[in-house]
Amino acid sequence: MSAPSEIEAFIKQVMESDLEPKMRASKFVLMPFAPEMKTDVMFALQLGFCLLLEKPLIICALRGAYVPPRVLGLADEIVVGDTVEDLKPALAAAVHRLANKPGNVQ
């Protein structure tokens, strides 16, 4: 398979059957950040669609993770914890705040 065909297939998957329809249907977007995490194309696309579709953004980060300052500035909510279990109560509270914020999710 040639490179352009692989790229075209990926774009079709994102736009028709995967990311784009799911993002449109979502009430908000949760972007996780972990210390060992590497950014990939799908992660970047998710963040981009979140912004283009004007979805509320929750940044959920484990302590020690690098979150670019510009991304932090775009977030509606930022949740930080030492473990995934630590994040759960704060994440639930963030979702509740967004759900009850006028003009956001209904």
Distance CA 39, CA 54 (A): 21
Cross-strand bridge partners of residue 77: 58
Distance CA 75, CA 57 (A): 5
Closest Cα partner for 72 from 60, 83, 64? Answer: 60
Residue 105 in domain: no
Residue 104 in domain: no
Per-residue pLDDT tens listing for the chain (106 residues)? 455 687 777 777 766 667 788 888 888 999 999 998 887 888 888 899 899 999 999 999 999 999 999 999 999 999 999 999 999 999 999 999 998 887 765 4
Residue 73 in domain: yes
Give the DSSP H/E element, type plus range, for residue 59: strand 57-62
What is the structure's pLDDT at 18? 74
What is the structure's pLDDT at 104? 62
User: What is the domain range of residue 82?
Assistant: 3-99
Give me the CATH number covering residue 19. 3.40.50.300
